[in-house]
Amino acid sequence: MDIDTRSEFVESWGSMGVLWGINRSMARIHALLLATREPLGLEEITEELDMSRGNASMCLKELRHWGVVRRVNLTGERRDFYIAEDDAWSMLFRIASERKKREFDPALSALQKVLASAGEEDDLVKDRLEELEEMLRAMDRLLQRFLASEGASRGMLKFLSAQIPYRSKKGE
Amino acid sequence: MDIDTRSEFVESWGSMGVLWGINRSMARIHALLLATREPLGLEEITEELDMSRGNASMCLKELRHWGVVRRVNLTGERRDFYIAEDDAWSMLFRIASERKKREFDPALSALQKVLASAGEEDDLVKDRLEELEEMLRAMDRLLQRFLASEGASRGMLKFLSAQIPYRSKKGE
DNA sequence: ATGATTATTCAGAAAATACTGAACAACCAA
DNA sequence: TTGGTTGTTCAGTATTTTCTGAATAATCAT
Residue A171 maps to a domain: no
The side-by-side arrangement of strands in the sheet containing B80-84 is B40-41, B80-84, B69-73
Q: How many domains does chain B have?
A: 2
Give yes or no: residues B64 and B19 share one domain: yes
Tell which of A38, A72, A111 to mutate to test the B interface (max B CBs under 10 Å): A111
Residue B171 maps to a domain: no
Give yes or no: residues A79 and A135 share one domain: no
Give yes or no: residues A12 and A73 share one domain: yes
Give the structural domain span for B38: 3-85+156-163
| pLDDT reported for residue B87 | 73
Give yes or no for a contact between B136 and B45, defined as CB atoms under 8 angstroms apart: no
Q: Which of A45-49, A57-61, A64-68, B140-144 has the lowest mean pLDDT?
A: B140-144
Instruction: Return all residues near A132 (Cβ < 8 A) that are at least 6 apart.
Output: A111, B34, B88
Give yes or no: residues A33 and A14 share one domain: yes
Give yes or no: residues B99 and B112 share one domain: yes
CA distance B64 to chain A (A): 18
Nucleotides of C under 7 A from a protein CB: 5-11, 17-22, 28
- Cα–Cα distance between B113 and A141 in angstroms, integer? 32
Sort strands B40-41 and B69-73 into parallel, antiparallel or unpaired: unpaired
- CA B52 / C1′ C7 distance in Å: 47
Residue A168 maps to a domain: no
Q: Is the pLDDT of residue A10 over 80?
A: yes
Give yes or no: residues A82 and A32 share one domain: yes
Residue A169 maps to a domain: no
Give yes or no: residues B106 and B140 share one domain: yes
Which residues on B lie below 8 Å from A5 (Cβ)? 110, 113-114, 117
Query: Where is mean pLDDT largest: A7-16, A89-98, B46-55?
Result: B46-55
| pLDDT reported for residue A166 | 33
pLDDT digits over B122-169, tens only?
777 888 888 888 878 877 776 676 666 654 444 322 222 222 333 333
ipTM of the complex: 0.80
| pLDDT reported for residue A31 | 93
Q: Is the pLDDT of residue A60 over 80?
A: yes
CATH number at residue B58: 1.10.10.10
Give yes or no: residues A26 and A56 share one domain: yes
| pLDDT reported for residue A109 | 84
- CA A18 / C1′ C18 distance in Å: 18
Give yes or no: residues A56 and A67 share one domain: yes
Give yes or no: residues A67 and A79 share one domain: yes
Mean of pLDDT values over B75-90: 86
Place A16 in a pLDDT band, splitting at 50, 70 and 90. Answer: confident
Residue A172 maps to a domain: no
Residues 31-50 of A with CB under 7 A from strand C: 41-43
Place B119 in a pLDDT band, splitting at 50, 70 and 90. Answer: low
